[in-house]
Chain A
Amino acid sequence: MGQLLDPVPRVRVEDLTKSFGPHTVVRNVNLAVAQGERIAIIGPSGAGKSTLLRCINWLERPDSGHVYLDGELIGESLRDGRYVAIGERGLAPARARIGMVFQHFNLFPHLDVLGNVALGPRLVLRLDKQAAQERAQAQLERVGLTSKLHAYPEKLSGGQRQRVAIARALAMEPTVMLFDEATSSLDPELVGEVLAVIRKLAQDGMTMLLVTHEMQFAQDVADRVVFMDEGLILEEGPPSTIFRSPSNPRTRAFLRAVLDRERTSEIS
């Protein structure tokens, strides 16, 4: 399928920098995500991967740099040539178009599963209760949890909770999904069910960024792998290149350490 023009990327991050106190966690990062592209972001802890993700939907306010969603500047407005940050209320519409899944699920414990998934559509998309619930049910079917509609989060396993969290994000019909270490808090035997759901989403063509430690999954699902360390993107490319013949020595060192760990955990 030839294209005459480069289509506008779904997400574009331009010169993003974020510090917490004296630590600069994200340094001048540039990243563009095309529609339907699946990007895996890997790297050691503290590399700034999660912070980068959270800057995309402005859960963290970048210190400098800009974020564009479908070509539109988000989180800021341009006034007389100066960029002015928007308050929390103004961020809401943009966030509604970005779906985020957290490492610790962050389900609403006082609502049942259906309530959790329907809340966003009802309050943010202004659907009426009936429509919101139907939409919620559809997403819950998609993640395979129709039997748990009226259960409360405390009664669910970790894998089930994360799947509800995914359904909750999907119910907003986002244009891009951000997965922030979605399986890092799960017991190993529960990781598979969540990865299966994400894999299916990828197959359905959802644009997504995944911060993950699941290297095998990244290899299978991603179109592009980005390696970050100390706030910088050191290397990026197709999985075959990054995983089999990385050019940056730090990438190599990281992969060696991770694969060693995986091998030893398989033995024990």
Chain B
Amino acid sequence: MNLVTLYQEHLGDWVVYLLPALALSIEIAIFSILVAGLVGLPIAVMKMSRSRPLRYAANAYIEVLRGSPALVQLYFIYFGLTAFGITLDALPAAVITFGLNGAAYMAEIYRGGLRAVDAGQSHAAYALGMTPVQTLRYVLLPQSWRVVLPPAGSLAVAIFKDSSLATTIAVPELMNQATLLVGIWYTPFAVFLLVAVMYAAVALPATIYIRRRDRSRSWAETA
């Protein structure tokens, strides 16, 4: 079996199947990180709240979602929730799972970002009569982006790789299409190797880009 000749023969056909699937994998990552960003913020706020029940609830959410495998959470949401009459399509189930899972990580990322903002900022905002919500929205969050974006970017890349798990519930993403191709051509090594390279071809440059941009200029120290 000559790998080179295999690719020469089939790469064209395979790529036609695989590129749209890769696009779907990227889409899953994008939607999931958006969900994670949205859900993670209230959880982070709850975790920093003065009310103990709110703090415990936030911590419980974070511990449970970070302490169990994403694949189990995926099965729970896709298969398990049918017992409550909630039948989701595979793609939404995947986005919801990765989004909720990612939210647990985003909560910690937001917390780190908000803690990085100088304490005097919230004092000044409160002294002007701003409410905590206004302070968060107009003063603290805008200054925390610099610290939040790099780890959030890394999380997005991680979700992109985790999207491969969605093959187990028949989402037509990259891994799934690869298995279909193997079913047709019976060349598992060539196909799966190609797919591995495709994942790396997206994940690696993204990771390096995020690393470069992480030299953050912080103007937060000046005022």
Is there a direct interface between A and B, measured as CB atoms under 8 Å apart in the complex?
yes
Interface residues of A (CB under 8 A from B): 57, 59, 88-89, 91-100, 102, 104-110, 119-120, 123-124, 152-154, 161, 165, 168-169, 172
Contact A88 B132 (CB under 8 A): yes
> Smallest Cβ distance from A245 to chain B, in angstroms?
37
Q: Which residues of B contact A104 (CB under 8 A)?
A: 120
Cβ-defined partner of A109 (8 Å) among B123, B127, B143: B143
Report B136-178 CB contacts with A as 1/0, cut-off 8 Å: 0011001100000000000000000000000000000000000
B82 in the interface (beta carbon within 8 A): no
Contact A152 B219 (CB under 8 A): yes
Cβ-defined partner of A108 (8 Å) among B131, B132, B223: B223
Chain B residue at minimal CB-CB distance from A103? B120
> Smallest Cβ distance from B148 to chain A, in angstroms?
14
13 of the cross-chain contacts (CB-CB < 8 Å) are: A57-B127, A59-B123, A88-B132, A89-B131, A102-B123, A102-B124, A106-B121, A107-B124, A108-B125, A108-B139, A108-B223, A110-B143, A124-B129
B128 in the interface (beta carbon within 8 A): yes
Contact B223 A161 (CB under 8 A): yes
Q: Which residues of B contact A161 (CB under 8 A)?
A: 223
Cβ-defined partner of A92 (8 Å) among B131, B139, B219, B222: B131
B63 in the interface (beta carbon within 8 A): no
Q: Which residues of B contact A91 (CB under 8 A)?
A: 126
How many B residues face the partner with a CB closer than 8 A? Answer: 22
Cβ-defined partner of B223 (8 Å) among A89, A98, A105, A123: A105
Q: Which residues of A contact B223 (CB under 8 A)?
A: 105-109, 153-154, 161
Q: Which residues of B contact A59 (CB under 8 A)?
A: 123, 126-127
Q: Which residues of A contact B121 (CB under 8 A)?
A: 106, 108
Cβ-defined partner of B128 (8 Å) among A96, A105, A109, A153: A96
Give complex CA distance A257, B143 in Å. 42
B190 in the interface (beta carbon within 8 A): no
> Smallest Cβ distance from A182 to chain B, in angstroms?
13
> Smallest Cβ distance from A8 to chain B, in angstroms?
21
Q: Which residues of B contact A169 (CB under 8 A)?
A: 127-128
Please name the 7 residue pairs, one residue from A and one from B, whose CB atoms are nearest each other, closest first. A96-B129, A106-B124, A154-B222, A107-B223, A106-B120, A120-B128, A153-B223
B187 in the interface (beta carbon within 8 A): no
Contact B126 A109 (CB under 8 A): no
B130 in the interface (beta carbon within 8 A): yes
B15 in the interface (beta carbon within 8 A): no
Q: Which residues of A contact B139 (CB under 8 A)?
A: 108, 119
